[in-house]
Amino acid sequence: MPEPEHKSNPPAAQPVVRTPLLTAGIAGLKTVERVEIHRIKLAPNVQVGLHMHPCPVVGIVTHGSILFEVAGQPPRVLHAGDAFFEPANTNIPHFDAQQDGATFVAHYLLGPAETELIRILD
């Protein structure tokens, strides 16, 4: 009589899977007193324009795609699931929605008495 075939079961799904997306160094830059979190939607082809933030901003794209450029770094396109970091007081030449528009969640790391989130530059 032939041996019965033993089928291996597929590995069990992991109950928690952690995937590192971004490490942004802010140590020594400031005291963070609070974090404001905003969901922001950009219509298709919206160009935010040259801007900066007086505080560091960490975020993640949740829908669509964005042309992203930090001054001194090459531009890149962010897609849903991609994380980004905008250092405080650094020019951001591009944060432009592509033809599919975009939604992202931004975490503003604010110090004592800070209220301004963005400065649009000429």
pLDDT at 21 over 80: yes
Binned at pLDDT 50, 70 and 90, residue 12 comes out as: confident
Q: According to DSSP H, which parts of the chain are helical? A: none
> Is the pLDDT confidence value at 3 over 60?
no
Instruction: Write down the pLDDT at residue 52.
Output: 97
Q: Tens digit of pLDDT for each residue in 26-64? A: 776 678 899 999 999 999 999 999 999 999 999 999 999
Q: Which pLDDT score, from 0 to 100, does residue 13 have?
A: 83
Would you say domain 46-120 falls under CATH 2.60.120.10?
yes
Q: Which two tokens stand for residue 61?
A: 């794209």
Residue 93: per-residue pLDDT: 98
User: What pLDDT does 65 receive?
Assistant: 98
- In this prediction, residue 10 carries a pLDDT of 67
Quick one: average pLDDT of 55-84? 97
Q: How far apart are the first and last CA of the chain?
A: 84
